Structure 1
Amino acid sequence: MELLEQLEQYRPFNEQEARDREELLRRMRSGEELYTRDNSAAHFTASAWVVSPGRDQVLMAYHNLYDSWAWLGGHADGERDLLSVALREVREESGLVQLRPVSRDIYSLEILTVNGHEKHGRYVSSHLHLNLTYLLEADPEAPLRCKPDENSRVGWFSPEAAIAASSEPWFRQRIYSKLNAKLSGW
């Protein structure tokens, strides 16, 4: 199923998702290039809420850029299958090999603001990440490793501790709390 069709069928969890979904649909229907960073104003990213089979643990990485514990994910960079992007990013950022999508469906969606910053010695202007989140499952006993150019630690937390570990209030209140609240339905 094409991403546009997935977004059309997606049922928002709350007002944030409803408003962000409408903006995602508007941008997709406009024909704007959204799959690459060539669009410096807004482009697709994919994230993963990685949980243990018992749903009692969540995987987080300490992201160097944001100086905070956060979910795992990254840019589409031309890939149109955003579930594949989420899987790739989790593997790269955590070292996990065995991952299982709980569903191929979109778990959550959000438009995220990114402040201007330096990356690889170049300035990146402020922009939007048009983010889709997927629910993935992994074994918390599997070996982990960090990706030093992006994160300095990777670890498992209880769902509540995952929220508390983040130093970003908006993510704690609007994103991670929402992702945990949605877990009961999966």
Structure 2
Amino acid sequence: MDLRQQIKNYTPYNAQEAKDQELILRYMDTFDNLLTRGNEFAHFTASAWLVNKDRTKVLMVYHNIYQSWSWVGGHADGDADLLGVAMKEAKEETGLKQVTPVLKDIFSIEILGVAAHEKKGRHVATHLHLNATFLLEANEHELLHIKPDENSDIKWFLLDEAVEASTERELQVVYKKLNEKLRLLQGK
């Protein structure tokens, strides 16, 4: 199934997801280059809510640019397989060898505003990330390694602690939603 169909078939969890789904589909009808950073206004990213096997903890990285604990993920960079992107980024950013999807479908969608910043000596203008989040699982006892050009620490947090650890208000709202959805999935 192509990416547009995945987004269209996604069942929104709340009003935020319904509105973001509508806007992402509209952007997809307007722009033909949303899979690359060549679209400096908005482009696709994939994130992972990376939980342990008991689904009581989430793995977070300390993000160098934003100076905050954050989920793992990255830019699509031309790849329409956003699950594959999320899995690749999870491994690259944490050193994990084994990461598996809990669900193959998109777990959450959101449009995230990205403030202007410097990256590798270059100014990056304010823009939007059209983000698909996937629920992934890993062994919390596997050896972890930071990715020094992106993060400076990695840590397993209890679900609610992960929300509190982030200093980014917008992402705290997203992380809280992800925890709610995870608990619903588990019947808790």
Unaligned runs of 5+ in 2: none
Please give the per-residue CA displacement for 1:22-51, whole angstroms capped at 9, x wherever unaligned.
Answer: 001111123431000000100000000000
Q: Identity, % of aligned pairs?
A: 54
Alignment-derived partner of residue 113 in structure 1? 113
Alignment-derived partner of residue 44 in structure 1? 44
Please give the per-residue CA displacement for 1:111-146, whole angstroms capped at 9, x wherever unaligned.
Answer: 001111111111011100000000000000001010
The separation in 1 between residues aligned to 2:32 and 2:113, in whole angstroms, is 18
RMSD: 0.8
Write the letter of the residue equivalent to 1:37: R
Alignment-derived partner of residue 65 in structure 1? 65
Please give the per-residue CA displacement for 1:34-82, whole angstroms capped at 9, x wherever unaligned.
Answer: 0000001000000000001111010000001000001000000011100
Q: CA deviation at 1:152?
A: 0.2
- State the TM-score, normalized to the length of structure 2: 0.96
Q: CA deviation at 1:150?
A: 0.4
Superposition map of 1:131-142 within 5 A: 131-142=131-142
The separation in 1 between residues aligned to 2:123 and 2:183, in whole angstroms, is 41
- Across the two proteins, how many residue pairs are aligned to each other? 185
Alignment-derived partner of residue 29 in structure 2? 29
Moved over 6 A (4+): none
The separation in 1 between residues aligned to 2:142 and 2:35, in whole angstroms, is 32
Write the letter of the residue equivalent to 2:179: N
The separation in 2 between residues aligned to 1:14 and 1:75, in whole angstroms, is 24
The separation in 2 between residues aligned to 1:149 and 1:158, in whole angstroms, is 26
The separation in 1 between residues aligned to 2:98 and 2:32, in whole angstroms, is 35
Write the letter of the residue equivalent to 1:48: A
Alignment-derived partner of residue 122 in structure 1? 122
Alignment-derived partner of residue 176 in structure 1? 175
The separation in 2 between residues aligned to 1:121 and 1:171, in whole angstroms, is 25
Write the letter of the residue equivalent to 1:17: E
Write the letter of the residue equivalent to 2:153: R
